[in-house]
């Protein structure tokens, strides 16, 4: 760390820096709080998606116990053929948003298909969509976590390092300059006393 220059120009520079830091800190803190709120929303959405997936598992177990029948091929009943994921800008952070999921349902002949296959396809389509949505929500939450960590570090840098350090520099420079002014006054008085003493001698 460079040695602190104890001059009036350094004092003015430090005072300007302190004003800038104090002006930026509230806006950084507000952004941090907004990001924390967004992160909480993302966690809630992820939690709801997970709950719905668990619900689907219990619905399948309750309504479709015949899935244990291995004669009907359940693989490839529904497949994801594509998805549309866009990004939205939230507080300067690009977050993924699942717009649409394209599914392909396997067709069966009405004569060989059991009556419950339609319900299985419906539930599988919803489960696949939810799993994809969950992946996007996890990525969204990961990005928000990273953004909250970064903004918290900045807030702490301003609040716990830069502002206190600048205040301490201002205090040290102020003390040094005040001591210098007092010393100059004392020297001036001593010089005046010496001059008056010399004038009395002559």
Reported confidence tier of residue 5, pLDDT bands at 50, 70, 90: confident
Q: What is the pTM of this model?
A: 0.76
- Which of 125, 112, 123, 108 shows the shortest CA–CA distance to 64? 123
- Which of 133, 131, 132, 118 shows the shortest CA–CA distance to 63? 118
Domain boundaries, the chain: 8-196
8-196 carries CATH number 1.10.287.3240: yes
User: What confidence score (pLDDT) does residue 51 get?
Assistant: 95
| pLDDT top residue among 68 and 182 | 182
Q: DSSP letter at 84?
A: E
């Amino acid at each position: 760390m460079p040695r602190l220059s104890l001059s009036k120009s350094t004092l003015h520079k430090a005072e300007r820096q302190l004003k800038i830091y104090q002006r930026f800190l509230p806006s950084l803190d507000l952004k941090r709080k907004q990001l924390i709120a967004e992160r909480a929303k993302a966690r809630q959405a992820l939690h709801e998606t997970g709950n719905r997936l668990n619900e689907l598992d219990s619905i399948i177990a309750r309504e479709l116990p015949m899935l244990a029948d291995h004669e009907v091929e359940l693989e490839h009943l529904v497949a994801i053929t594509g998805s549309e994921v866009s990004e939205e800008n939230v507080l300067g952070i690009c977050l993924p948003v699942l717009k649409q999921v394209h599914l392909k349902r396997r067709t069966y002949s009405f004569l060989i298909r059991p009556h419950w296959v339609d319900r299985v396809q419906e539930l599988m389509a919803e489960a696949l969509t939810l799993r994809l949505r969950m992946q996007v929500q996890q990525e969204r939450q990961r990005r928000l976590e990273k953004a909250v960590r970064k903004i918290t570090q900045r807030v702490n840098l301003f609040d716990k390092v830069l502002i206190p350090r600048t205040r301490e520099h201002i205090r040290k420079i102020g003390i040094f300059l005040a001591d210098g002014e007092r010393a100059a006054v004392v020297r001036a008085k001593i010089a005046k006393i010496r001059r008056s003493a010399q004038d009395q001698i002559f």
